[in-house]
Amino acid sequence: MHIGGDGVARGYYKRASLTEEKFLANPFADGRMYRTGDLARWLPNGGLQILGRIDHQVKLRGFRIELGEIESVLTQRALLGAAAVILREDVPGTPRMVAYYVEKADSIRSPEALRALLAEDMPEYMIPSAWVRLDSLPLSPNGKLDRAALPVPDATQTAKEEFLAPTSPTEVTLTKIFGEVLNLERVGVTADLLKLGADSIQLFQITARANRAGIKITARQLLQHRNAAALAAVADLGGDAPSTTTDSPLPSLGQFKRKRRAG
């Protein structure tokens, strides 16, 4: 299915090759058509039936995302041996992007470093919320990537490895909220929310639940202090405290757009 008309964009920002591939000359009118990547057919009654995707583009919370674009940055800029990004919905109603990667022997990268690298060029909604390191990517009998065989991220194991029990009432409430939103049995006070797979929507859900529980924090504070211990200290002091995270907070979509305009 191709889309034409006045609403079609000019192309992808600084992605000339991708623009050439997706934006084609319109044989029916002036301008160009956009190759959507959807397979469709006309029905006898004149309706249009969408049959599904024929590429690796997905839609997440209203944003169309080219998974191949993320994979390309990870393999080329991050110097990974291989990378695959898919959209999973292991918890019904909670889709999230998961990145699987294979390191090269001479280029070891942590999920935090990979996340920061993507954040340099991409808005927050294009940053995978979970990362899984593999020795190799699963292949089908004909040698192609078998996306269906990619494993479920083990966020629960991550939570167990970082578990430190809460001690104050604020920490108890916050860790309970973290677990409810992220669907984890327990969360330690030092566990980083982003490492546990939290995305931007879930961060706002946590902020709202904390406020309803009487813990006055903002989404900005949650991004700066991404574990229950640090966030509880901020809330109990009624102000701000030095960030305990080593990563820079991920840019919001608005910040990303302003950065683009400034550049």
Q: Is residue 221 part of a domain?
A: yes
Is residue 190 within 8 A of residue 227, CB to CB? The reply is yes
Mean predicted confidence (pLDDT) in 172-198: 85
Within this chain, do residues 80 and 143 fall inside the same structural domain, yes or no? yes
Within this chain, do residues 86 and 43 fall inside the same structural domain, yes or no? no
Q: Is residue 198 part of a domain?
A: yes
Within this chain, do residues 134 and 63 fall inside the same structural domain, yes or no? yes
Question: Which of 111, 134, 153 is the last residue in one of the domains?
Answer: 153
Residue 41: pLDDT over 70: yes
- Characterize the bridge pairing of strands 130-133 and 94-102: parallel
pTM of the prediction?
Answer: 0.53
Within this chain, do residues 146 and 192 fall inside the same structural domain, yes or no? no
Q: Is residue 262 part of a domain?
A: no
Is residue 97 within 8 A of residue 128, CB to CB? The reply is yes
Question: Which of 135, 153, 171 is the last residue in one of the domains?
Answer: 153
Within this chain, do residues 71 and 149 fall inside the same structural domain, yes or no? yes
Within this chain, do residues 64 and 48 fall inside the same structural domain, yes or no? no
| Beta strand spans in the chain (E) | 2-3, 23-25, 32-35, 38-42, 48-53, 57-60, 63-66, 82-91, 94-102, 130-133
Residue 51: pLDDT over 80: no
Within this chain, do residues 62 and 144 fall inside the same structural domain, yes or no? yes
State the Cα–Cα distance between residues 33 and 38, nearest whole angstrom.
Answer: 14
Q: How many domains does the chain have?
A: 3
Within this chain, do residues 45 and 65 fall inside the same structural domain, yes or no? no
State the Cα–Cα distance between residues 149 and 222, nearest whole angstrom.
Answer: 34
The pLDDT value given to residue 121: 79
Q: Is residue 183 part of a domain?
A: yes
Measured from the Cβ of residue 248, the count of other Cβ atoms closer than 10 Å reads: 11
Is residue 66 within 8 A of residue 206, CB to CB? The reply is no
Within this chain, do residues 164 and 231 fall inside the same structural domain, yes or no? yes
Within this chain, do residues 21 and 40 fall inside the same structural domain, yes or no? yes
Band (pLDDT 50/70/90 cuts) for residue 55 is: low
Q: Is residue 132 part of a domain?
A: yes
Measured from the Cβ of residue 37, the count of other Cβ atoms closer than 10 Å reads: 17
Q: What CATH number corresponds to the domain at position 98?
A: 3.30.300.30
Over residues 219-245, the pLDDT tens digits come to: 888 888 888 999 999 988 875 444 444
State the Cα–Cα distance between residues 102 and 88, nearest whole angstrom.
Answer: 19
Residue 72: pLDDT over 90: no
Residue-wise DSSP of 201-227: HHHHHHHHHHHHTT----HHHHHHS-S
The pLDDT value given to residue 260: 42
Band (pLDDT 50/70/90 cuts) for residue 205 is: very high
Band (pLDDT 50/70/90 cuts) for residue 101 is: very high
Q: Is residue 261 part of a domain?
A: no
The domain containing residue 28 runs over which residues? 2-53
Within this chain, do residues 129 and 164 fall inside the same structural domain, yes or no? no
The pLDDT value given to residue 7: 85
Over residues 105-120, the pLDDT tens digits come to: 777 778 878 888 888 8
The pLDDT value given to residue 155: 58
Q: What CATH number corresponds to the domain at position 39?
A: 2.30.38.10
Tokens for 86? 């898919």
| Comparison of pLDDT for 89 and 149, the residue scoring more | 149
Band (pLDDT 50/70/90 cuts) for residue 163 is: low
Q: What CATH number corresponds to the domain at position 220?
A: 1.10.1200.10
Within this chain, do residues 212 and 144 fall inside the same structural domain, yes or no? no
State the Cα–Cα distance between residues 142 and 136, nearest whole angstrom.
Answer: 16
Q: Is residue 177 part of a domain?
A: yes
Mean predicted confidence (pLDDT) in 66-79: 83
Mean predicted confidence (pLDDT) in 137-156: 83
Mean predicted confidence (pLDDT) in 10-22: 83
Q: Is residue 47 part of a domain?
A: yes
